[in-house]
Chains A and B, each alone.
Chain A
Amino acid sequence: MRSFATKRWAGIEGLTLLVVAIGVLTTSSGLILAGIIGFGYAAYTKLWDAPVADVSIDRELGDEAPAPGETTGVTLTITNTGSKWLSDLRVIDGVPPALETIDGPARIGTSLRPGETTTCHYTVSVVRGKHTWDSLRLITRNPSGSRERETVCEVSTTLRCTPPLHAGANLSLHGLTTPYSGRVTTDVGGYGIEFHSTRAYRSGDPLNRIDWNRRARTGTLSTLNFREERAATVILLVDSRKEAYVAAEPTGRNAVERSVDAVATIFSSLISNGDRVGIATMSPTECWIAPQSGKTHTARVQEALATHPGLAPTATEGTLYHTLWFNRFIRRLPADAQVVFCSPFVDDRPIYTARRLHAYGHLVTVITPDETTADTIGDRIAAIERQHRLQTLRGNGIRVVDWGDEPLPTAVMAATQRWSQ
């Protein structure tokens, strides 16, 4: 980039001439001599242009794949590969927006002779996702600071942070299931463990299901039915619109991050129960993984939860056309799928989504991270509004897990006790 004048020393010639003129008029030799310093500086500011930052930069990460919540050191090594002395070199590293610099700013001001090397070290706290450092800004100035030149230097470094999947919370599902056997107890009589009903014997019924007690008592044959246990198809839907990126504290984890945590936990517990589970987002950058089961599917979901831009720890740009999104989503949704919907419910849009899904016959369970606080009147009104929204959902027969500060399994347990099957 071309250098430009900082106008830092603007007016020094005029001021000096004024002082000298006063010195001449009052015959004060001291003032005239003082003018020499001023003129010296005026000449100094005209010396040299801002040098071109001819440097090589290397960025090294302490750990390229740390676990979420860990910290990792970043070391910048800057070497002056040009032939000019960079007397005033300022380097500003472009830290990915989701990472927090916790030890020293990612910036350094230095002075490098040709061939000389300096390092800058800082630490970032890592969150889930794929984070890329793209560019650095280099600012050089001439010694007087009257000219400046800014260069952007491309040095790409990628850090991947994939959270492990831990099964933790057993979310009891609704009775909407697939024909495949699984763990969800249904109201269908057949093979199973829990008693369901008895019916008249039909030839061909297995011997072990004949009610022999009744046969002994009355002499008629009847067959026992048990509740069938079947597998469910579940879509885990995350609200990651810009509005959902809210946190109770400025440094706390936001609702989307907590939703993704909940999804990861529920996903692994459901998939290990034999259910078919898929992932979807309600966001401008849409994510859709059709419900399946198996190890490959698990690996794909784990990767998506870590790095998909629609589930990123910071909001993505773009507009969500809600009706279009919903129509597309409902078309993709298998007819027998239930939906687990994670949203902080900070506006009315998710209510509309949940109620429409419910109306279409997909049973909906809502998991809502509570990010409201009670610090100010406004905060309390927001909390009341949110409670009112959840009340509306419960009134519509939608199951709600209100997830505060407690661990997710505790919240699920507390909510499950209230649900009538």
Chain B
Amino acid sequence: MIEIASVSKFYNQKRALDGVDLTIQSGRIFGLIGPNGAGKTTLIRILNQIIEPSAGHVRIGGVPLNNGHVKTFGYLPEERGLYREMKVLDHLVFLARIRGLSKSDALKASNFWLDKFEINPWSAKRIDSLSKGMAQKVQFIGTVLHDPNVIILDEPLSGFDPLNIQLILQEIKAMKKAGKTVIFSTHNMNSVDEICDEVGLVNQGKLVAHDHVSALREKHKTGAFKVRYKGNQIAFANALWTGFELIQTEELGEHWFQSVIKSRHGEVFSDVYQTLSTAVELQLLEEQLPGMQDIFLELVTNHSHE
């Protein structure tokens, strides 16, 4: 478990982080989100001991963060860097060795991951001869090849095509399955929806929200339902009457519609079903929970206006 307690960071009187309190459970995928300049990278650098906090502290399993912990981290920074003139395999072996692996283990791990990502034929090529996507894969491998317990990924999906995004997301899920803790910072909210267990939203140096993804979605739901039905449109509208607001309707065919309605008084799924099932033939009824994209926009906008 990673405990971040009252962590603040100032750069020449400019506040980058302001009293952040956060607990990240082991074996989970934690999404660290926030707009640009919110302080995510500063927090990540503090976790990696690249910089020290101006105040507060970080504990791992109850022990103050130290070099021993950081050795078990894998870190993929947002601003990627590779020794472009090095060969792929040499680069990976070098990274593995500065993370404490012996030469033979480094070589073994590098080859394992190169095979896994199907880029072993490029192992003897110079990095500056690789495509962007290929170089991104090399960077990802460099982050995980020493089998870290905590993997900190800052925008790991940028630069990847949809196929490779899925590949990376699958790897992240596999790491969770293997008991690793993943801290995943991204602007790609779909991926947060897809893989994160918990989310922390940082804005202007403060932690604005921290919860399970499902809890956040529940908390920010708007009472909207999607309904697909066959029948009379007027009967449908009459059934809604005072309890619901009709947001939009789309005609799918003859007497066949799909609408979005919103409850006025906090009605739940069963209330909606009871109200509409007698008026029309229901084909689909689902509560529309907000995506992380919507929650992000709402939280950031609200916090910025406070």
Partners in one complex: no
